[in-house]
């Protein structure tokens, strides 16, 4: 999937709020992003891929220990901050979409941290 398609799909999915997103869809989306970032060769993007792996672990713990909203919120906030950093140096074509994604991740992360 092309980066712009992935950005559009992700921002659309998050537009209704993080808790409205089915867990299976979240796992599929995080997997697509992780693969994209791991294959990039860019250390900043690979750091994001590692945090996505952390988020996937937190989301998959639902089956054993239940979801930890505070930890998931922290992970989403970290991903939002990392995305904002990448957006600063991104091409004009994707900068605004990355910034919107960053804002959504930070908002969702903050909400989950506050609710937990």
pLDDT digits (tens, 9 = 90+) for 56-93: 999 888 666 678 889 999 999 999 999 999 999 999 98
pLDDT in tens, 18-42: 777 888 888 888 999 999 999 988 9
Per-residue confidence band for 116, with pLDDT thresholds at 50, 70 and 90: low
Would you give the distance in Å from CA 11 to the centre of its chain?
A: 10
The CA distance from 53 to 48, in Å, is 9
Report the pLDDT value the prediction gives residue 64, as an integer from 0 to 100: 65
Per-residue confidence band for 15, with pLDDT thresholds at 50, 70 and 90: confident
pTM of the complete model beyond 0.75: yes
Report the pLDDT value the prediction gives residue 84, as an integer from 0 to 100: 96
| Alpha-carbon torsion, ordered 86, 73, 61, 116, to 10 deg | 180
For the cut 90, the answer to whether the pLDDT of residue 115 exceeds it is no
The 8-class DSSP code of residue 15 comes to T
**Which tokens go with 53?**
């792996």
Report the pLDDT value the prediction gives residue 105, as an integer from 0 to 100: 95
């Amino acid at each position: 999937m092309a980066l712009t398609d992935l950005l559009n799909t992700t921002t659309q999915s998050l537009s209704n709020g993080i808790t409205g997103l089915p867990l299976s869809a979240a796992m599929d989306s995080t997997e697509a992003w992780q693969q994209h970032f791991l294959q990039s060769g860019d250390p900043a993007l690979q750091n994001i891929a590692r945090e996505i792996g952390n988020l996937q672990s937190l989301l998959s713990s639902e089956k054993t220990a239940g979801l930890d909203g505070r930890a998931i919120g922290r992970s989403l906030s970290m991903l939002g901050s990392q995305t904002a950093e990448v957006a600063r140096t991104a091409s004009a074509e994707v900068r605004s979409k990355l910034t919107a994604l960053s804002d959504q991740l930070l908002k969702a992360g903050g909400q989950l941290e506050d609710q937990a």
